[in-house]
Structure 1
């Protein structure tokens, strides 16, 4: 079963995206960063290369002959060229139900102050919870991140 994590940010999500990319790469997972359109792909490609403290995550934009070698592949299409274990979807992107099971984890990152992203993320929640996946919603507040909602909890076996 795919584990799905929603991250509701109280502002722009670029810094959060970078942190999630770093954490996923520390597990040696390949990632598909699913964007809403080509403009978002280009924006994030530029922004994710510019990080403080010399932090670095290798990323590439889908569409080259080297896609399969990219640890992080940015795309506005559902490509599995880099054999990703993780999909990180931005707020306005879409998720195709027939590819969900190809991933170990799915993360949806959205800005709660952007009504369009908020509505699109609610639709993703309905879709993925309806498919029976274990879901968690984390919200950002003054103290950091807190679990605010959960659906389809994993059943623990009692011995």
Structure 2
């Protein structure tokens, strides 16, 4: 399993998630986006609708009638009612339940650096996990040391 750590120093999660979601869908996978912050959930939903002028990234909220049909589901917990194999932890809170997914995107701000460091240390001792660190460099995401 691959765990991608995205250190959000410039852009918030709702700016990065449309790119992650599009790449996930391009690879014929489904995505679960998790956040315990309702305001952030609203921003992420709006960003997915408005990410490209010519299209939108179809998604829904957990608990809705059509949640199982959604290619991208936004929730406050790690239950993938849409059958997602990829998960994005958008609020900076690490959840061990994410380790049940094929791929994890862990987005964190400087406010959550201690959570990220703890998760990184724990994952480096897990033979089944491959953690990778990503940072912004001039507006691009590059893999860091």
Q: Name which one, 1 or 2, has greater alpha-carbon Rg.
A: 1
Is the Cα–Cα contact under 8 Å of residues 30 and 85 in structure 2 kept in the other structure? yes
Change (3 A) 1:119 1:25: same
Structure 2 SS opposite 1:55? coil
Is the Cα–Cα contact under 8 Å of residues 7 and 110 in structure 1 kept in the other structure? yes
Equivalent-residue separation in structure 1 for 2:45 and 2:121 (angstroms): 29
Structure 1 length-normalised TM: 0.78
Change (3 A) 1:120 1:91: farther
**Which of the residues 129, 135, 138 maps onto 1:139?**
135
After TM superposition, give the deviation of residue 40 of structure 1 in Å: 2.1
Which residue is 1:20 aligned to?
A: 20
Moved more, 118-127 or 83-92: 118-127
Is the Cα–Cα contact under 8 Å of residues 18 and 48 in structure 2 kept in the other structure? yes
Aligned residues: 143
Gaps of 5+ in 2: none
**Which of the residues 104, 107, 118 maps onto 2:105?**
107
Gaps of 5+ in 1: 150-159
> Alignment RMSD, CA only?
2.0
Equivalent-residue separation in structure 2 for 1:110 and 1:58 (angstroms): 24
Cα deviations by residue, 1:101-145 (Å, 9 ceiling, x for unpaired): 2x111111233xxx3233332233234334331111011112723
Is the Cα–Cα contact under 8 Å of residues 32 and 73 in structure 2 kept in the other structure? yes
Equivalent-residue separation in structure 2 for 1:131 and 1:100 (angstroms): 10
Structure 2 length-normalised TM: 0.85
**Mapping of residues 9-158 of structure 1, within 5 Å:** 9-11=8-10, 12-97=12-97, 99-101=98-100, 103-111=101-109, 115-132=110-127, 133-142=129-138, 144-149=140-145
After TM superposition, give the deviation of residue 91 of structure 1 in Å: 4.0
Change (3 A) 1:140 1:58: same
Equivalent-residue separation in structure 2 for 1:40 and 1:93 (angstroms): 13
